[in-house]
Chain A
């Protein structure tokens, strides 16, 4: 450790005992601590301090301490303690158990369903982070641990940015801050705090998992890094022709050069990965060559005229891209209620640029599952509901690429809606109230249960 003294096995720090050194990275040294009886396993992290160590080591350590102390959730390691002992400052963190995404990446190209599963878990964790005002800025396979249940956990917050806290990251560094293979074009230009930079990195990870190659290689020079500001990556289907067009569409949508052209949120990436049939295919998904030299020259010029810059705080950025779920009960058709739902939806998405609307209904299955021809009836009902949802949305005249349609099958209506909204990181649910008092009394109120149980805003509409 650059001549610095470091704690050997058995050393006591904040009531814990060092077991062994686990790894020594460029910025920090990590030790495993002897697990206390009944307590979760934990790690000790110390910045590399010593003669000649880079000041960024220290800044990164401070950033991690500041940000991990302010965010909550299983999608990142829990900060157990911080302090300063005879060996210098330290953090004690939960040891996340699972498999590093880097191990999955070593086996890439992976089967499509595995790419989807891992990508959806990663996008979900990243969106949860963005919702807490934080951009990670260094998403890459070795910073993602997939827990046994399949949930992705993000580690190493040394470059992270919290939109409501001072940015302690070392800006004096002459190198761009990030990992060359995954860094976004705007990060290369010094823009910090745009959540779509993480969406770009998710795209690079998906590209690697799907093709076994990195979209921009691992450039060592600044000039090599800057190529991604105007040259787009080779379409993944050139490397792996059996890759579905929808997956290429998703990957290249994440890797768009301009942040405005990417997915507005990581939640949208996850939603598309989990509902491939609904992905709006464009030329992006079908192309088999890079853009021509003219397009590259145009981008080069555009960059010269207007380099990327930070536009707005992150909460405002996410607020521009709400995911609105409209629950339409087509089994009780009411022209007035349908119109009221459409009006409510129009008001909620008015003025937002990157909204996504999922039109859903729930198909209760309980009565049919025991019948002999139950499956056949279900299929036909499913299609009927889907057609009805499209029919409901048609008068809105909204662009297709923003719209999704889902018939949710099985179980209790309120539970299914709440679960769907949670899994798709919905920001808002719009639904109708059962108009007739008798019905409500007989069947109970679905809307009141959704309003009570959902983790997002719920608007209940009456005609």
Chain B
């Protein structure tokens, strides 16, 4: 089975549709949405409709910090631009969308795979995994052979090697065999707001029979997504960063 893992969609419908179409061409039969489904982008409801539809057909969905904030959770710690987007998003959500978001768990498991938005080590503290030590704590907490996370908006792969944890910068489109009795943590990048200088949407595909993990970058119509952000009256900076992927 090929599993498409999509994180940090952030209400960007153009990016989500492009990644879903790409995953379909790659033969994905199961979708996992790794949280931060809304916030920043101009299409939160359309995105939630699409994901709720997939959830009804077996897709795995977990909650992110922006999803929690959109439901009324704490957003005072966020930067002013993110906070403004959360206030705007709250006003857009209808009861169905709110109840879908409210129903989401913080983590999910599937055989020896573990899914979480930020870190398996205290999932509700929304820690950014940027170091091998943090990745190690996440892998220890999940206990799974392969863990998937999002939240940091760029792609990386961590793995256990003896007593240490090492980081690897994946190359888009190159399948990586996840061999051996070691633990792996894939940070899959962001669908709706990539921040590594490349404006293409990011996601990962895992073939659980062949144990092959592939990180992908998918070009999408970021100009339309940016125009909609401006038309919606959201902060202009959110539109600009889509163009540059920053």
Q: Which residues of A contact B (CB under 8 A)?
A: 55, 58-59, 61-62, 65-66, 69-70, 82, 89, 164-168, 170-172
Contact = CB atoms under 8 A, between A and B. Distances in A.
Contact of A164 (B171, B179, B180): B171
Given A62-B182, A164-B171, A170 B177 contact: no
A145 B27 CA distance: 39
Q: Which of B159, B175, B179, B181 has the most CB of A within 10 A?
A: B179
Contact of A58 (B175, B177, B180): B180
Given A165-B174, A168-B159, A168-B179, 13 more contacts: A55-B162, A58-B181, A59-B161, A62-B182, A65-B179, A66-B176, A70-B175, A164-B174, A165-B168, A165-B177, A166-B168, A172-B162, A172-B164
Contacts of A166: 157, 159, 166, 168, 176
A166 B182 CA distance: 13
Interface in B143-172: 157, 159, 161-164, 166, 168, 171
Given A165-B174, A166-B168, A171 B161 contact: yes
A166 B162 CA distance: 14
**10 interchain residue pairs of minimum CB distance:** A62-B180, A166-B168, A164-B171, A164-B174, A65-B179, A62-B179, A66-B177, A66-B179, A69-B177, A172-B162
B176 A165 contact: yes
B177 A70 contact: yes
Contact of B177 (A59, A65, A89): A65
Contacts of A167: 166, 168
B161 A170 contact: yes
A89 B164 contact: no
A167 B162 CA distance: 13
A167 B179 CA distance: 12
Interface in B53-73: none
B interface bracket (residues with beta carbon within 8 Å of A):
10 to 19
A66 B163 CA distance: 20
Contacts of B179: 62, 65-66, 69, 82, 168
Contacts of A168: 159, 161, 179-180, 182
A70 to B, nearest CB: 7
27 contacts: A55-B162, A58-B180, A58-B181, A59-B161, A59-B162, A62-B179, A62-B182, A65-B177, A66-B177, A69-B177, A69-B179, A89-B180, A164-B171, A164-B174, A165-B168, A165-B174, A165-B176, A166-B157, A166-B159, A166-B166, A166-B168, A167-B166, A167-B168, A168-B161, A170-B161, A172-B161, A172-B164
B181 to A, nearest CB: 8
B25 to A, nearest CB: 22
Nearest to A68: B177
Nearest to A315: B171
A165 B178 CA distance: 10
A134 to B, nearest CB: 13
A172 B164 CA distance: 9
Given A166-B157, A166-B159, A170-B162, A61 B180 contact: yes
A154 to B, nearest CB: 19
A103 B60 CA distance: 58
A133 to B, nearest CB: 9
A62 to B, nearest CB: 4
A59 B157 CA distance: 17
